[in-house]
Chains A and B, each alone.
Chain A
Amino acid sequence: TERQTADTQWVTCVDRIGASRDQAAFARLFAHFAPRVKAFLMKSGADEALAEECAQEVMATVWHKAHLFDPERASVATWIFTIARNRRIDVLRKQRRPEPEDLPWGPDHAPDQSETVALQQETEQLGRALEALPEAQRVLIERAYFGELSHREIAAETGLPLGTIKSRIRLALDRLRHEMT
């Protein structure tokens, strides 16, 4: 049996919301992520009222897009981060966000459980690596993600161990390309 990660329960919640509009699963997801999204938006420059409103909108988007979530390519935290980031660009910067062409799996695709768990474990390792960084470096990375640093200020060398996550996603993309042909 595979090791349970904290993210496993969130994947199950998103699954249930997507499949059966499960309000109890949504309440659990909301209790964990909405306060984090709100804190993230406040550190990104939103005042309390705007952050509350945007966090609610982000969680509503999570509900509506739950069936599109792909656990083989991102953890739930990562997926919710991208929704919150896009809302920030839209509301705080008032800009359009060009997104890459989507690469959806075919209709017959069944998510690979072991790939999903492996990605979750690597995401947890990344989280721990981030925590273990020297304070100054960790703060710099956080500021980058709050949108405080320009691309000039973001050093190319982040010292983050992205190699394993990258290879895992690359593997998923290769399988997807294989399915498409």
Chain B
Amino acid sequence: MTTRITHHLNDALLMSYAAGSLPEAFSLVVATHVSLCDECRARLAGFEAVGGAVLEAEEPAAAMAEDSLAATLRRIAAMPEETHMRAPEPDAASDPVFPMPLRDYVGGDAQDVHWRALGGGVRQAVLPTEKDATVRLLYIPAGMAMPDHGHGGMELTMVLQGAFEDAGGRYGRGDVEVAGEDLDHTPVAAPGPDCICLAATDAPLKFRGILPRLAQPFIGI
């Protein structure tokens, strides 16, 4: 399931995901992108190796309780044996739109999403995560523009189906756009299949036009 990907995650995102300090909503985008992108998978493994080096360098290390090893062996005996079975793979013929981490949050693939209409054929589904950041699926019909907006924090947008374009370029399946406070953009869904993306934000978007601003409390973006 490899795809030609041209827009990747940045080092700060991969490092904080490796360190385990990224909000859950952003972690879902990172895990979903890495599932499709061997380039970022290898970079992530590099940042995890730094974690290994930090662990190895823990000196002086903490003293363990006196019976610690015996207690751990008792824990091991009490735990169920790890089975060698893997999670059921989707059969190759079904060719899922969503990589595994996203399917875990949706409880299925693209056809299983519980969409809410936002008007103009645009639909969204907010996924359940911790509240420090928000992640949603967006369904944007081909040719449809999203409202012109700026960002109060960081926005990660990953394409799962179709494509969108903005001043930053063209984003196809697997590509991620990392937008910060310095970027204003008007993403437009490209012609072809309707666009489905996964978008995480840690602050509300800032809309320019009067209409989206009025709609914002209802849309919740």
- Taking Cβ atoms with an 8 Å cutoff, the residues of A that contact B are 23, 26-27, 30-31, 33-40, 42, 48, 51-52, 55-57, 59-60, 63-65, 67-68, 73-75, 77-82, 84-86, 88-89, 93, 95-104, 123, 126-127, 130-131, 141-142, 144-145, 147-152, 154-158, 160, 162, 165-167, 169-170, 173-174, 177
Contact = CB atoms under 8 A, between A and B. Distances in A.
A67 B19 CA distance: 24
Nearest to B128: A96
13 contacts: A77-B56, A81-B48, A82-B48, A85-B19, A96-B24, A98-B27, A98-B28, A98-B105, A99-B101, A101-B99, A158-B50, A173-B42, A177-B38
A130 B50 contact: yes
Given A80-B55, A102-B100, 20 more contacts: A30-B68, A38-B62, A55-B62, A56-B75, A77-B53, A77-B55, A78-B45, A81-B54, A82-B51, A85-B19, A85-B20, A96-B24, A99-B31, A101-B99, A126-B53, A144-B21, A148-B21, A151-B16, A158-B11, A177-B38
A60 B75 contact: yes
Contacts, number: 216
Given A40-B55, A95-B130, A147 B45 contact: no
A80 B52 contact: yes
B4 interface: no
Interface stretch (B80-88, B144-152, B188-196): B80-88
Nearest to B21: A147
Given A35-B61, A60-B75, A101-B101, A162 B49 contact: yes
A104 B23 CA distance: 27
B93 interface: no
Contact of B20 (A27, A80, A147): A147
B12 A151 contact: yes
Interface residues of B, number: 68
Nearest to B87: A102
Residue among A86, A88, A145, A173 with the highest chain B CB neighbour number at 10 A: A145
Residue among B52, B57, B58, B75 with the highest chain A CB neighbour number at 10 A: B52
A100 B31 contact: yes
Nearest to B39: A170
B43 A60 contact: no
Contacts of B60: 39
Contacts of A93: 20
A37 B43 CA distance: 24
Interface in B1-50: 1-2, 10-13, 15-16, 18-22, 24, 26-28, 30-32, 34-35, 38-39, 41-50
B65 to A, nearest CB: 5
A144 B62 contact: no
B73 A81 contact: no
A169 B75 contact: no
A169 B52 contact: no
B214 interface: no
Nearest to A164: B46
